Amino acid sequence: MPEFDPYFEWLDIPLNQRPINYYKFLGLIPPVSDPAEIEAACKSRRQQLQKEILGIHGAEARTLLNELKIISDTLLNPVRKEAYDQKLFKTNPASMEVKLEPGYKIGPYELLKLRENSGAGSMWLAVNKLSGKKCLMKVLPQRLAQRSQIAKRFVREIQFSSQLHHDNIVCASDSDGQGDPLYYVIPCEALTSLETFVRQNGLPTVEKALDYVCQAAQGLEYLHWKGICHRNVRPDVLFLDENNVVKVGGLLTAKAENNLLLDGDFDEQLTQDGQMLGAADYMAPEQATNASAADARCDVYSLGCTMFWLLTGRPVFNTKNNLAEKLMAHRKAPVPRLSQIRSGIPQALDAVFQKMLAKNPDDRYKSMKEVIEAIQNAQKGASGNVKIPGWLWAIIGIGIGAAITAAALLLR
């Protein structure tokens, strides 16, 4: 008869997963921050073991009950728990990895469905169990939070999103920048990046594309008013919500120019002089050489590149995947004309695009307000100069000729 193994028969912990940690003893996935959840697990395990005391394995049950007392005293004491968690992570980092999956609870929220996953965190559809309202949650798993630069930028995004309030900005209604995992809550049920939207639905009409650009410009104008330079405007950080409203997100690499919202030293820790920051297909030439010197005019340039992509489906400079060639093209190559790539683009809009992508930042629009006004004026000019096709002119000519002939006959 094989030897009885209480860890396997009772706790369902096979030999190759030992030595066990306190959380696994309780049937929990570490780390757990809610004391009520830990206390409930301790109570359930205690009741299970107490039933075994009078049985044939009473000695093993008493031994495990003594272990349970130590575990309970440790995990329900905040100071001891923190020390234990730190020790556990140092000795076995994988054991402290939070497995995010549907049903996982973070505070009052329960994850329902994964919407997007990236190296900057995962986006989940969630529900607030107290109010019953659905929302989006951006979560940074611990394996990413342990990388200091990613964690600092995520906390930075939380700080921005929590202090900004504008219809065209991804704003946070709740957040936790100190717990595990880090997260913030977005008060809507759906956000689809413009990149995903175009890939799924094809290029929008010129009118719709310009509407998206102007909405994004309104959000960016608000950021600039707050002293924030986005530094990474591109199609995959501009989102459409369920009401077709464009919201600017992706504030991980944003810069507080006047440090209105953040610590004075925070940006210096994240971007040193000479560092390149942003997506090469959408990056202003001067930003490529010094990200810390980026200002609102860099965002104007990037939004112009985004407008080009929305209207044509390709980057401004189609240099495949060669980073050096892309950066050089943004610095030296002539800016292509929209009207030569897509029909229906008025010359006035082409001129707006050319100014947005001026190589010299002093030659660009100085603000997003100027960009919006220029786009709207270009649209008005186009609607006021309706082109009549040649076949219609022929019909009009025939009609006029017939009228003249009829009038001549009447006058005889």
Q: Is the pLDDT of residue 396 over 60?
A: no
| Predicted local confidence at residue 166, as pLDDT | 96
Whether the Cβ atoms of residue 357 and residue 316 lie closer than 8 Å to each other: yes
Give the total residue count for the chain. Answer: 412
Burial 138-172 (b: 16+ CB within 10 A, else e): bbbbbebbeeeebbebbbbbbbbbbebebebbbbb
Which of 405 and 216 is assigned the larger pLDDT? 216
Nearest residue to 238 via CA among 291, 296, 189, 309: 309
Task: Say yes or no to pLDDT of 278 above 90.
Answer: no
Range from 18-27, 104-113, 254-263, 371-380 that averages highest in pLDDT: 371-380
> Is residue 386 predicted with pLDDT exceeding 70?
no
Task: Report the pLDDT value the prediction gives residue 177, as an integer from 0 to 100.
Answer: 80
Residue 247 CA to residue 193 CA, distance in Å, equals 9
- 105-186: CATH topology: Phosphorylase Kinase; domain 1 (3.30.200)
Does 351 score more than 90 pLDDT?
Answer: yes
Work out the angle at residue 156's Cα, subtended by the Cα atoms of residues 81 and 91, and round it to the nearest 5 degrees. Answer: 30
Query: Measured between alpha carbons, how far is residue 358 from residues 229, 318, 365, 366, 375 in Å?
Result: 18, 18, 9, 12, 16
Burial track 259-287 (b if 16+ CB lie within 10 A, e otherwise): eebbeeebbeebbeeeeebbbbbbbbbbb
> pLDDT-based confidence at 251, cuts 50/70/90?
confident
Round the CA-based radius of gyration of the chain to a whole number and report it. 30
Nearest to 301 by CA among 335, 273, 347, 254: 335
Highest mean pLDDT, choosing among 6-20, 158-172, 347-361, 388-402: 347-361
Distance CA 54, CA 119 (A): 53
Locate CATH 1.10.287 in the chain.
6-96
What single DSSP character describes residue 132?
-
- Percentage of residues in the chain having pLDDT higher than 70: 82
Q: What would the CATH number be for the domain defined by 6-96?
A: 1.10.287
**3-state secondary structure (DSSP) of residue 29:** coil
Instruction: Report the C-alpha gap between 45 and 361 in whole angstroms.
Output: 66
**Residue 344 amino acid letter:** G
Q: For residue 276, what pLDDT is reported? A: 47
| Comma-separated ranges of CATH 3.30.200.20 domains in the chain | 105-186
Conformation bin of residue 210: beta by default, left when phi > 0, alpha when psi is -120 to 50: alpha
Share of the chain above pLDDT 90, in %: 53
Q: For the chain, where do the domains classified as CATH 1.10.510.10 start and end?
A: 192-383
Question: Taking Cα atoms as reference points, which of 337, 378, 383 lies closest to residue 210?
Answer: 378
pLDDT at 268 exceeding the cut of 70: no
DSSP state at residue 30: S
Report how far residue 243's alpha carbon sits from residue 189's, in angstroms, rounded to the nearest whole number: 10
Q: What is the DSSP string of 384-403?
A: HSPPPPHHHHHHHHHHHHHH
Q: How far apart are CA 182 and CA 179, in angstroms?
A: 6
CATH architecture of the domain formed by 192-383: Orthogonal Bundle (1.10)
pLDDT at 168 over 80: yes
CA separation for the pair 53, 60 (Å, rounded): 8
Among residues 249, 252, 298, the alpha carbon closest in space to that of 271 is found at 252
Query: Looking at residues 167-179, what average pLDDT do you find?
Result: 89
- pLDDT of residue 19 exceeding 90, the answer is no
Contact 209, 278 (CB under 8 A): no
pLDDT higher than threshold 50 for residue 154: yes
Residues 301, 356: contact at Cβ < 8 Å? yes
User: Alpha-carbon dihedral of residues 193, 194, 196, 200, nearest 10 degrees?
Assistant: 140
Please write the tens of the pLDDT for every residue from 293-341: 889 999 999 999 999 999 999 999 987 778 888 999 999 999 999 999 9
Average pLDDT over all residues of the chain: 84
The SS3 of residue 127 is strand
Yes or no: say if 49 and 63 are a contact pair by the CB < 8 Å rule. Answer: no
Task: Say how far residue 244 (Cα) sits from the centre of its chain.
Answer: 17
SS3 of 98, please?
coil
Nearest-5° Cα angle at 109, 106 to 113: 95
Beta partners for 167? none
Tell me the per-residue pLDDT of 107-141, one tens digit each, with 9 for 90 and over.
899 999 998 887 678 899 999 999 999 999 999 87
Render pLDDT for 50-107 as a digit per residue (tens, 0 to 9).
Answer: 999 988 999 999 999 999 999 999 999 999 998 898 888 777 665 556 678 898 888 8
pLDDT at residue 18, rounded to an integer: 74
